[in-house]
Amino acid sequence: MFQYYFNLGVRNLRRNPVLTTLMALTLAIGVAASISTLTILHMMSGDPIPEKSDRLFVPLVDAGPLDRYTPGQEPNDDQITYTDAVNFLQSGQGVHRTALFGVDGSVETQRADLGVIAAIGVATTADFFPMFNVPFLHGAAWSNADDQNGGNVVVLSRPMGEKLFGKDDPVGKRIRFLGADFQVVGELDTWEPVPRFAHLMNAGGGAFGQIDDIYMPFRTAIRMQERNDGKTSCESRNDPGYDGFLASECTWLQFWFETKSASDRSQLQSYLDAYSHEQLKLNRMPRQNTNRLFNVNEWMSRLHVVSNDNRVSTVLAFAFLLLCLVNTIGLLLAKFSVRAGEVGVRRALGASRAEIFKQFLTESAVVGLVGGVLGLLLSLGALYLIGKQSTRFEVLAHMDWQMLGLTFVLALLASILAGLLPTWRACQVLPALQLKSQ
Amino acid sequence: MLQMKNLSKVYRTHMIETHALRGFDMHVKQGEFVTVTGPSGSGKTTFLNIAGLLEEFNDGEFLLDGVDVKGLNDNARSRLRNEKLGFIFQGFNLIPDLNLFDNVDVPLRYRGFSKAERRERIEQALAQVGLASRMRHYPAELSGGQQQRVAIARALAGSPKLLLADEPTGNLDTQMARGVMDLLEVINASGTTILMVTHDPELAVRAQRNVHIIDGQVSDLVRKMPSLRVTDGDQIAVA
């Protein structure tokens, strides 16, 4: 019977075309508003590396002075010192470890037509690439020897590689960056995690900003006396010069551990606690504050990747959908009320109330399907316009298959919900009364 | 086929009670053609609605083809209506958006017949009323008489045991009315029981038996027609 009711629903779309169009449009606008904002929220809050997000951890230890510190005070620093970063790199904890900070400079090649190109980059270790499942188009990450010796090697992002060398394999070619010569050892394939979780704290626009163009060894950047292109916090005085800066308790580095399994978290936590006790013996970490670990999703939550504004927008969009639903209920009531005669006839010919209920609810769902198609088109249009607003939104305003499916489910649910009252009213028709008045 | 005993139906509002039927007795045998007459407001339509399981009654007993219908739920009543009854209305009550084929198809859909069986029954029913060639036409494209014939085809397609007709010729001119009446007589001759409400005395006398209702009760004015085929057990109890 479902197919019969579905066909009747499709046929009845032509009945009262103005009402039908109004209903489908009302639903479509409500669905489009909800889906557009939900898509943005979904992209913002999605797990960027689901296969290992529970095995990647950011460690935070409190190396601040006792001045202005109240015991039990929640640490508010999200980066660590150079001393701790180097110690963690040498700790042997987890299967991979990496420290990173932002570097900013200009790139030159031997091509005179290109001139000087501004680039943002990351100083990190070779572990960065396997730990974040970074794909390579050409070449590979630099060697451990380059990590140890601070070799002048770089890995280019795909857009930067294509900008500098076109479609050619850039491996082995040379570029000039930060005033020094570097050899290209690898070019990434397209890698645009949303949010850019591995390097959330950056000067390139935050969680949804521009992707990094160049990756260089951590030790090379230190040798070149580079400072973080981003936030640096110093709560106490430090000795002058770059060496003084490195030896200070200023926090400016981000760090990641990758463990073999999620259950190794407690082991890593024990290491951090033991580390902080050991540092106290070396007259560091006087606060002995709580040492914390954050997996990828906890880390994004801590850094408020999804702002409250986004959540409020989504709630408002759904409130708007509710308003559209109320309107659709009114329109469906009007559409179904003129069908009382047909209900009477069908009841007389053997339809039970349950059959009438199924028929009219299916008809509502057909309107919902049309609303879903229109809503999808409107959503895509809205996302296109949102994407045009800024680079930040451009990476977010993409509908994946989940949201595509959700558009139809939402439209169907909305139409069925809107159809409940009008359908129930249709079922209450007294056939005897209708048949006589026909 | 239909047995009502001491049936009563009361319509209640917060102000008044209206007794549409009281102490109503009726017995219709399988194969009979019975007409029901009476003045407006006498309870003819209420009787037909109760007989058609479209309304419930307050008291009494009602057996339809041996089934006690009192206390049946909506599903059971609907199934019984679909399997045992056919309806013909004064206003035809065809669904305007459906063509003749799909109109006749409606009761068969609820019966759960296969596609092939539905097609066969529809074509046969439309052929029986002389409209086989117009099955893709819509009701608005037909005359009143033709529309009523489609309604008859729809009522017949499910092979009902009892055909309930409420003023089936009320909206037709004399010639068309005679045509419809001829058709009903043919249907009755093939064994289908017919209960027909009418105001038209000329049509009333064409049935085998006429029951007159006054003030919700069967009056003693009961006519047996000369062509009566049912010869025994056709007494009409008067409350």
Q: Torsion angle, CA of B121/B127/B128/B130, rounded to 10 degrees?
A: 150
Whether B107 sits inside 8 A of A350 (CB atoms) is yes
Whether A350 sits inside 8 A of B54 (CB atoms) is no
Q: Does A13 touch chain B (CB under 8 A)?
A: no
pLDDT at B146 over 80: yes
Q: ∠A379-A412-A31 over CA atoms, to 5°?
A: 25
Q: Does A339 touch chain B (CB under 8 A)?
A: no
pLDDT of residue B107: 93
Whether A349 sits inside 8 A of B95 (CB atoms) is no
Q: Higher pLDDT residue, A63 or B172?
A: A63
How many Å apart are CA A184 and CA A140, to the nearest integer? 10
Distance of CA A262 to the CA centre of its chain: 21
pLDDT at B121 over 90: yes
How many Å apart are CA B183 and CA A38, to the nearest integer? 64
Overall average pLDDT of the A277-299 stretch: 88
Whether A432 sits inside 8 A of B55 (CB atoms) is yes
Q: For residue A394, name the pLDDT band (cuts at 50, 70, 90).
A: low
pLDDT at A319 over 90: no
The ipTM estimated for the assembled molecules is 0.86
Q: Does A17 touch chain B (CB under 8 A)?
A: no
Write out pLDDT tens, residues B49-96.
Answer: 999 998 889 899 999 988 998 888 989 999 999 999 998 888 888 998
**B154 contacts in A (CB within 8 Å)?**
349
Q: Side chain identity at A393, as an amino acid letter?
A: F
Whether B93 sits inside 8 A of A438 (CB atoms) is yes
Least confident stretch, A21-25, A395-399, B99-103:
A395-399
Distances (CA, A) of B50 to A127, A412, A426, B83, B198: 84, 39, 21, 16, 17
Domains, chain B, with CATH or none: 32-42+74-224 (3.40.50.300)
User: Could you tell me which of B19, B77, B76, B86 has the C-alpha nearest to residue B46?
Assistant: B19
pLDDT of residue A395: 63
Give chain B's length: 239
Whether A342 sits inside 8 A of B78 (CB atoms) is no
User: Could you tell me which of A26, A11, A15, A51 has the C-alpha nearest to residue A296?
Assistant: A51
Name the residue with tokens 């009654």: B57
Residue A428 burial (C-beta neighbours within 10 Å; 0-12, 13-18, 19+): exposed
**B97 contacts in A (CB within 8 Å)?**
11-12, 15
Kindly tell me the sign of the dihedral angle through the C-alpha atoms of A73, A74, A76, A81. positive
Contact between B220 and B238 under an 8 Å Cβ cutoff? The reply is yes
Contact between A249 and A234 under an 8 Å Cβ cutoff? The reply is yes
Overall average pLDDT of the A295-304 stretch: 88
Whether A349 sits inside 8 A of B110 (CB atoms) is yes
Write out pLDDT tens, residues B185-215.
Answer: 888 888 889 999 988 888 888 888 889 888 8
Of B74, B81, B91, the CB nearest to A438: B91
Least confident stretch, A86-90, A382-386, B88-92:
A382-386
Is this model's pTM higher than 0.80 or not? no
DSSP assignment of B147-168: HHHHHHHHHHHT--SEEEEEST
pLDDT of residue B79: 92
How many Å apart are CA A323 and CA A317, to the nearest integer? 10
Q: How would you label A13-38 residue by residue, b for 16+ Cβ within 10 Å and e otherwise?
A: beebeeebebbbbbbbbbbbbbbbbb
* Mean pLDDT (chain A, rounded): 87
Least confident stretch, A94-98, A163-167, A310-314, B54-58:
A310-314
Peptide bond into A195 cis (omega under 30): yes
* Residue boundaries of the structural domains of chain A: 2-47+307-437, 95-260
User: Could you tell me which of A83, A374, A434 has the C-alpha nearest to residue A251?
Assistant: A83
* Mean pLDDT (chain B, rounded): 84
